[in-house]
Amino acid sequence: MASFVGLGLYVIGSKGDLSQGDSLPILAMLATGILLGMVQEARNKQLREARHELDRSRTEQDRLRQRIQILTEANNELNERILGEVKTVSSFSEIARRLSVLDRGDLYAAICDLINDYLSATRSTVYELSGNKKLEIRAAKGFVVVPEDLKEISNPKSLAWLAIKEKRPVSALDLLK
């Protein structure tokens, strides 16, 4: 804008009665206007670049915040899993400590105690598979008197036999399948 004003003054000055000495200030103003215009354009360009860089930095900062949040959540989940594993390991060491009995009869009773504690059960029984394909009771906890039908299990369609065949925990609902 300043360069156009300076140019206009120069043109007006050259058509009139202005002498050579009068046109020098007009040329100086024209050069100053052009120079100021170039400086202003350079500053505007720097400002646009700085704003673009600021927007890019903010976008990168938001992306990094999201990544930190994801990593923090993953770290928390990993910490929970590690704590769970520590609990599991300590549970296994507690099981091993409680089952470190040398006498076989005491071992069965310790297994019943452990089952009651670990599963929060009120009653438990331990059976041993005998050579004649019967499950014979070796220990029981929580019963006042063990019922006769629980002392020996020979029915291959019973829940206990299903657990032996499947080699996994089963429930009464599994018998209905």
Tell me the pLDDT tens digit for each residue of 117-171. 777 778 888 888 887 778 888 888 888 787 777 788 888 777 777 777 777 777 7
Q: Which domain holds residue 46?
A: 2-69
CATH number at residue 122: 3.30.450.40
- 108: buried, middle or exposed (CB in 10 Å: 19+, 13-18, 0-12)? buried
pLDDT of residue 79: 81
Which one of 69, 93, 114 terminates a domain?
69
For the chain, give me the number of helices (H) and strands (E)? 6, 3
Q: Which long-range contacts (CB under 8 A, 24 or more apart) does 163-168 make?
A: 164/129, 164/135
Q: Are residues 8 and 52 in the same domain?
A: yes
Tell me if 114 is assigned to some domain: yes
CB count within 10 Å of CB 98 equals 14
Q: Are residues 63 and 116 in the same domain?
A: no
Tell me if 7 is assigned to some domain: yes
Which one of 69, 92, 127 terminates a domain?
69
pLDDT of residue 128: 84
Number of domains present in the structure of the chain: 2
How high is the mean pLDDT of the chain?
78
Tell me if 87 is assigned to some domain: no
* Residue 130 near residue 136 (C-beta atoms within 8 A): yes
For residue 60, how many C-alpha atoms fall within 13 Å in the half-sphere facing its CB? 6
Tell me if 92 is assigned to some domain: no
Q: Structure pTM?
A: 0.41
pLDDT over threshold 60, residue 1:
no
The continuous run of DSSP H or E covering 143 comes out as: none
Q: Are residues 65 and 8 in the same domain?
A: yes
Give tens-digit pLDDT for 14-31: 555 555 566 677 677 777
Tell me if 152 is assigned to some domain: yes
Which one of 43, 69, 95 terminates a domain?
69
Q: Sign of the C-alpha dihedral, residues 169, 106, 137, 151?
A: negative
* Residue 112 near residue 141 (C-beta atoms within 8 A): yes
Q: Are residues 64 and 116 in the same domain?
A: no
Tell me if 153 is assigned to some domain: yes
pLDDT band at 96 (very low <50, low <70, confident <90, very high): low
| Cβ contacts of 159 within 8 Å, gap of 6 or more | 170, 171, 172, 174, 175
Tell me if 96 is assigned to some domain: no
